[in-house]
């Protein structure tokens, strides 16, 4: 589909034989990041005791993410707050910017979400081993399981642990792509059914746009909260 | 009708054009994977650094400031409340003391006045008694004087009467003696 196409903007940049050209995907990453930074700049420009609207929204984002982290990962996760906050904001704003017509949805590409998920997965694993050493492997051996079932459970746990980056990345990517594809399909129906029958899919399109904005927020939230949960597993060994 | 038809045809042409671009999923084409990964890491790193080093401390600072301000204000309000309560107690105490003092002053002044009145009354009574004594003495004196006067008058009257009746002048001393004797007999009736 055209809206998912990646194309070069400007000259081709090749480093060590790898094509690192600036593309429309890169452009929308830069736009999303710029919007975040602009929003945060406006939100922190004035340090009012009684905040104005934009300052209030910035502070709400802050408290929202801070509460999410303390609820799921506890106080030990405080040093990772800036990362989770940046991650949440980046995914949210990429999703939201992607909702604008003729824009490009950065998070609808599996490679982007996979890199984020892999980074989280590797970082969480390293944190787990640094904090607990080889005891971290206990995460694969849940306590209170009958000995007979233990080999099976351990295998399942290992598979589920290793599939974390896949599930995390595919969830976001598939949601974004499916939503945009649905909008596209209903948009196509509006045109092909014409003036007489096009009103119904047009209504669906409008409704779906609302739904997609919800999904854009929800997926950013899910992405961030799953990161918190993985972090929690690494910081507080429960098993 | 013709215009509508043309419009729909044009739309269909655009639609066909749009559908023509759909050849599978561009996401699975590895041509720009390296580029996307590179730019993602670059942009996200810059975003992370500027958020972590610059914006989050600012927001945190501001939130802490607000919390501290609210706490301080509440503390101040509590302090002022306590202060006003203590002032109210002080005021009530002062009022109570003043009331007590009023009662005391009232009683004191009453006592002083009573005493004053008593002394004055006593002085007046003494005076009155003195006057009474004096008056009684005067009366007694008067009575005594009047007795001698009466005796004299009686003597005179008696000598006169005797002279008129008998034509003789009697010895004065014998008349005196006779009057004295009679008056001594009858004076008790009048005094």
Q: How far is CA A78 from each of CA A228, A235, B93, rounded to the nearest angstrom?
A: 11, 11, 55
Contact by Cβ (8 Å): A96, A213: yes
* Closest CA relative to residue B44, chosen from A125, A36, A22, A236: A36
Partner-chain contact A191 B11, CB within 8 Å = yes
Residues of the domain holding A196:
2-235
Decide: helix, strand or coil at residue A19. strand
Partner-chain contact B62 A47, CB within 8 Å = yes
With respect to residue B13, please indicate whether it lies within any of the assigned structural domains: no
pLDDT in tens, B99-114: 999 999 999 999 999 9
The percent of chain A in helix, strand and coil, each rounded to the nearest 5, is 80, 5, 20
pLDDT for res B152: 82
Alpha helical stretches, state H, chain B: 2-20, 33-50, 56-166, 172-190
With respect to residue B8, please indicate whether it lies within any of the assigned structural domains: no
Residue B10 has pLDDT above 60, yes or no: no
Q: Exposed/middle/buried for A171, CB within 10 Å: 0-12, 13-18, 19+?
A: middle
Question: Cα(A106)–Cα(A177) distance, rounded to whole angstroms?
Answer: 10
Residue A223 has pLDDT above 80, yes or no: yes
Partner-chain contact A19 B37, CB within 8 Å = no
With respect to residue B2, please indicate whether it lies within any of the assigned structural domains: no
Contact by Cβ (8 Å): B151, B183: yes
Which of B19, B35, B66 faces A20 most closely, judged by CB atoms?
Answer: B35
The helix (H) or strand (E) run that includes residue A114 is: helix A110-132
Residues of the domain holding B180:
34-190
With respect to residue B81, please indicate whether it lies within any of the assigned structural domains: yes
- Using pLDDT thresholds of 50, 70 and 90, give the confidence band for residue A50: confident
pLDDT for res A237: 79
pLDDT for res B19: 46
Find, in chain A, the residue whose alpha carbon is nearest to that of B33: A111
pLDDT for res B5: 54
Q: Count A/B contacts: CB-CB distance under 8 Å.
A: 139
Question: Cα(B59)–Cα(A58) distance, rounded to whole angstroms?
Answer: 8
Structural domains counted in chain A? 1
pLDDT in tens, A19-35: 888 888 899 999 999 99
Partner-chain contact B47 A36, CB within 8 Å = yes
Kindly state the tokens that stand for B111. 């006592």
Any residues with CB less than 8 A from the CB of B179 and at least 6 apart, and which? B151, B154, B155, B158
* Closest CA relative to residue B147, chosen from B178, B98, B183, B110: B183
Residue B168 has pLDDT above 90, yes or no: no
pLDDT in tens, B45-96: 999 999 999 898 888 888 898 899 999 999 999 999 999 999 999 999 999 9
Q: How far is A97 from chain B (nearest CA, A)?
A: 15
With respect to residue B29, please indicate whether it lies within any of the assigned structural domains: no
* Closest CA relative to residue B40, chosen from A1, A114, A10: A114
Structural domains counted in chain B? 1
Q: How far is B106 from chain A (nearest CA, A)?
A: 60
Average pLDDT, chain A: 88
Q: Which of A29, A111, A178 to mutate to test the interface with B (most CBs of B within 10 A)?
A: A111
Question: Cα(B133)–Cα(B138) distance, rounded to whole angstroms?
Answer: 8
Question: Cα(A236)–Cα(B159) distance, rounded to whole angstroms?
Answer: 157
What average pLDDT does range A208-226 have in this prediction?
Answer: 93
Contact by Cβ (8 Å): A56, A212: no
Any residues with CB less than 8 A from the CB of A206 and at least 6 apart, and which? none
Residue B23 has pLDDT above 60, yes or no: no
With respect to residue B24, please indicate whether it lies within any of the assigned structural domains: no
């Amino acid at each position: 589909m055209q809206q998912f196409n990646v194309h070069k903007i400007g000259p081709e940049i090749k480093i060590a034989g790898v094509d690192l050209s600036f593309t429309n995907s890169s452009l929308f990453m830069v736009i999303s990041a710029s919007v975040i930074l602009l929003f945060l700049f406006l939100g922190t420009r004035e340090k009012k005791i009684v905040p104005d609207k934009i300052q209030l929204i910035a502070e709400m984002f802050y408290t929202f993410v801070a509460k999410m982290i303390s609820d799921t990962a506890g106080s030990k996760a405080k040093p990772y707050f800036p990362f989770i906050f940046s991650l949440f904001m980046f995914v949210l704003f990429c999703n939201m910017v992607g909702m604008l017509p003729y824009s490009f949805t950065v998070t609808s590409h599996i490679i982007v979400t996979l890199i984020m998920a892999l980074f989280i997965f590797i970082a969480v694993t390293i944190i787990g081993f640094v904090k607990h050493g080889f005891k971290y492997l206990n995460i694969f051996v849940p306590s209170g399981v009958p000995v007979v079932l233990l080999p099976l459970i351990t295998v399942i746990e290992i598979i589920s642990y290793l599939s974390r980056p896949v599930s995390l990345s595919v969830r976001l990517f598939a949601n974004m792509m499916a939503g945009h594809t649905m909008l596209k399909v209903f948009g196509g129906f509006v045109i092909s059914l014409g003036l007489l029958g096009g009103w119904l899919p047009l209504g669906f399109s409008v409704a779906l746009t609302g739904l997609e904005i919800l999904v854009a927020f929800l997926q950013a939230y899910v992405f961030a909260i799953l990161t918190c949960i993985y972090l929690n597993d690494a910081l507080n060994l429960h098993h | 009708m013709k215009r509508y038809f043309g419009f729909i045809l044009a739309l269909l042409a655009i639609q066909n054009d749009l559908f023509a671009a759909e050849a599978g999923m561009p996401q699975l084409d590895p041509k720009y994977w390296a580029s996307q990964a590179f730019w993602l890491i670059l942009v996200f790193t810059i975003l992370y650094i500027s958020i972590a080093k610059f914006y989050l401390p600012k927001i945190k600072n501001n939130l802490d400031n607000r919390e501290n301000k609210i706490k301080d204000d509440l503390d101040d309000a509590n302090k002022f409340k306590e202060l006003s309560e203590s002032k109210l107690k002080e005021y009530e105490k002062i009022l109570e003391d003043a009331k007590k003092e009023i009662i005391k002053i009232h009683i004191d002044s009453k006592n002083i006045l009573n005493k004053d009145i008593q002394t004055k009354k006593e002085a007046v009574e003494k005076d009155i008694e003195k006057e009474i004594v004096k008056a009684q003495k005067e009366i007694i004196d008067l009575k005594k004087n009047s007795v001698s006067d009466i005796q004299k008058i009686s003597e005179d009257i008696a000598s006169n009467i005797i002279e008129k009746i008998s034509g003789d002048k009697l010895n004065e001393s014998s008349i005196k003696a006779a009057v004295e004797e009679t008056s001594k007999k009858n004076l008790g009736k009048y005094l």
